[in-house]
Amino acid sequence: MAKEKPQLTEQMQEVIQLIRLHSKAGNTGVLREEVAQSLGVTVWKARKLITQAETMLDGIPQVGIDPSDPMFRSEVSRRIKKKTTIAKVAQSMHTSEEDVLAVISDMEDSGYIINRRGSSVQLGKSVEHVPQGIVVANHFHQKPIKFGIVADMHMCSKAERLDVLSAAYDEFENQGITTVFCPGNYIDGECRFNTHELLAHGIADQCQHAIDHWPSKPGIKTYFVDGDDHEGWFHQREGIEFGRYLMMEAQAQGRDDLVYMGYMEADFELKAPKGSAVIKVIHAGGGSSYAFSYASQKLVESFQGGEKPAVCIIGHYHKFEYCYPRNVHCIQAGCIQDQTMFMRKRKLAAHVGFCIVTLQQDIGGSITRFIPEFFPFFDRGYYLKRDGITERLQGE
């Protein structure tokens, strides 16, 4: 017995008629707007009806929604800003729950923060704090270990210092360093008070700017965390975990040297034969204090005994400083951004530069040697004058 053809609704018949008329007219105008106006539906519903009608006309089975379709994703994203259910989203968009679930799962894989509680779903504004860590076996504990630090680069800001960032990685390469830590604020983010000081706007453009200008050197890997400000603004406003998004975009472009370690802090464990030492990379908070070391000291004082690391690499304050409270080697690594208008208004200095740290462990994992080294840089005018660039340009 032959399978009966499905009966077309009056609405679908009208859509098919409009498609045929549109084709005869030489494809002038926007079809989905014509269908939306004729049927009195939204442009999104018109687009869905057109897709269904075209598959019927072609005689092929109707296919599901592509989860990466930007229009569908933006609609789903808009509808899950408030707590809802997948069933309600599917009903409001005249599609199946499977299509909506596929898009939400794809959004999660792309870096969006999705909160699921039972049958409810909502676009999140903060990341669940699960500090990640990397364990490295230090078989040569009797020999010094070197690593680099770049902090608070604020790429995409007009005050960014890409010359300093490039010089940092050149020096890391020269010294045979393979591990670099970044305690956050590698991009400037976007908010109301910095929008006119940016070179790139929005998540996609700032991400690409960072990938294009973050130096890549053979054998060097950079481990970074997100701050709760700047890149963290995208977490809180757009609901996307920027660091994970940047790492995936970098990998898609052939770069596996940028490794996202988590939100605000992460641990890096150096494991010797009979013990280990933890290096904590953290983006601190709060304002700068009169004494540069005060923030580091109070941070270490707040650690519980069992959580106290051996080394603490601190970002956020744009200062270089080393201190040793509670037997913890604390280092603020400066910044790679000139003083901004915001900093000048608050009378905050910028210590522009980068760091190289040399340390040594004993067989039990304890740090027995720690040498912080800061490479300071000055304002751009200093180098223009020193290198005679201005004179050469004037002479041309």
Kindly indicate whether the domain formed by 133-384 is annotated with CATH number 3.40.50.10680.
no
What is the tens place of the pLDDT at every residue in 23-59?
A: 766 665 677 788 888 888 877 777 778 877 777 666 5
**CA separation for the pair 145, 165 (Å, rounded):** 22
Q: How many CB atoms lie within 10 A of CB 37?
A: 11
CA distances from 317 to 99, 189, 291, 308 (A): 45, 17, 12, 21
pLDDT score at 25:
67
CA distance 350 to 352: 6
Any bridge partners for residue 278, and if so which? 269
**What is the structure's pLDDT at 285?**
78
Q: What is the pLDDT of residue 390?
A: 56
pLDDT at 126: 65
- Bridge-based pairing of strands 311-315 and 275-283 is parallel
Predicted local distance difference test score (pLDDT) of residue 4: 46
CB of 245 closer than 8 Å to CB of 203: yes
What are the per-10-residue average pLDDT scores of the chain (396 residues)? 55 80 67 82 77 68 54 74 82 77 77 78 67 63 88 94 95 96 93 86 90 95 92 81 89 92 90 90 81 87 88 94 95 93 88 95 92 93 72 57
Give the integer Cα–Cα distance in Å for 168 and 166: 5
pLDDT of residue 140: 62
Q: What is the pLDDT of residue 5?
A: 46
DSSP-derived secondary structure for 317-359: S--EEEE-GGG-EEEEE-BSBPPPHHHHHTT----BEEEEEEE
The pair of structure tokens assigned to 16 is 């098919």
Strands 120-123 and 114-117: antiparallel
| C-alpha closest to that of 331 among 300, 303, 290 | 300
Are the CB atoms for 31 and 18 separated by under 8 Å?
Answer: yes
Cross-strand partners of 271: 137, 276
Distance CA 376, CA 334 (A): 9
Identify the pLDDT of residue 17.
Answer: 81
Return d(Cα 109, Cα 201) in angstroms, integer.
23
User: Are 116 and 250 within 8 A, CB to CB?
Assistant: no
Domain boundaries, the chain: 10-58, 82-123, 133-384
Residue 63 burial (C-beta neighbours within 10 Å; 0-12, 13-18, 19+): exposed
Distance of CA 230 to the CA centre of its chain: 10
Length of the chain counted residue by residue: 396
